[in-house]
Amino acid sequence: MSVMSRNNVKVQGSGPQTILFAHGFGCDQNMWRYVVPHFDKQYTVVTFDHVGAGGSDLSAYNFDKYGTLDGYASDILEIGQELGLSGAIFVGHSVSAMMGVLASIRAPGMFSKLVLVGPSPRYIDDGDYVGGFTKEQVVELLDFLDSNHMGWSQAMAPAIMGNAERPELAEELTNSFCKTDPEIAKHFARVTFTSDNRADLDKVKVPSLILQCAQDVIAPEAVGHFLNGRMPDSKLVLMKATGHCPNLSHPQETVASIRSFLDA
């Protein structure tokens, strides 16, 4: 199968520089729909679905390949190679942020800048490192998902989205979680919440923007400061946006933050 169909790759705009948007766990490229229209006049914009999500080819899901974030980074590199990307901009939300970090290290020159929205190199606390979850909490979270995918989705989506005064946002995220194949969701969640990419951060050689939301239960503020301290050429922006999905809840601030970084 082609890379383009495997990952349901969409290309729009015709600008000289390309921006590639990558979605987070339990979502698909539709999560960027409020952001993309602000860039497709000036840039060529690429969106896609991780294998196992959205309109991707589910038959391509391989539990061994996607047993680490490297498998997803390989897909990003294959998309970049297929499109002939050079000096492109990578925008990754949540777990996709670390996929972009890995891809940029493995293919120097493909990306000239990284935009990391709600990133985390490790979700589990470790000594002085604050990831936001204890090991016991992650085990409990994954056990809950294993036993009740639907119930987990309905319980977790509102907490992840935040912005309780706008319940339609949590409802959309819940529906997105519920659409994901349960076995793939369980596997991807385990890979996500047990990942540790702290040792990769100082290998990033391109300018990077870290967008840190307030009241983010997935990536607390301490994580943003940790990334900023470990990534050599990084800028941390503490957003007014709350929750973990500012691309949905606060698209205008998200767009403005990205534009300010790219235009600097």
Number of H helices, E strands in the chain: 10, 7
Contact 94/88 with Cβ under 8 angstroms? Answer: no
Contact 208/116 with Cβ under 8 angstroms? Answer: yes
Task: Enter the pTM of the model.
Answer: 0.97
Residues involved in catalysis: 94, 216, 244
Contacts 24+ apart (CB under 8 A), 69-75: 69/95, 69/98, 69/99, 69/102, 69/191, 69/192, 69/195, 69/197, 70/102, 72/96, 72/99, 73/99, 73/100, 73/102, 73/103, 73/106, 75/3, 75/6, 75/7, 75/50, 75/51
**Alpha helices, DSSP H, located in 149-240:** 149-161, 167-179, 182-193, 221-230
Neighbours of 198 (CB within 10 A): 17
- Position 164 scores a pLDDT of 92
Neighbours of 138 (CB within 10 A): 20
- Position 89 scores a pLDDT of 98
- Position 264 scores a pLDDT of 87
- Which residue's entry shows tokens 């290309």? 11
For the chain, domains (ranges, CATH) are 3-263 (3.40.50.1820)
Residue by residue, pLDDT tens for the chain (264 residues) are 799 999 999 999 989 999 999 999 999 999 999 999 999 999 999 999 999 999 999 999 999 999 999 999 999 999 999 999 999 999 999 999 999 999 999 999 999 999 999 999 999 999 999 999 999 999 999 999 999 999 999 999 999 999 999 999 999 999 999 889 999 999 999 999 999 999 999 999 999 999 999 999 999 999 999 999 999 999 999 999 999 999 999 999 999 999 999 998
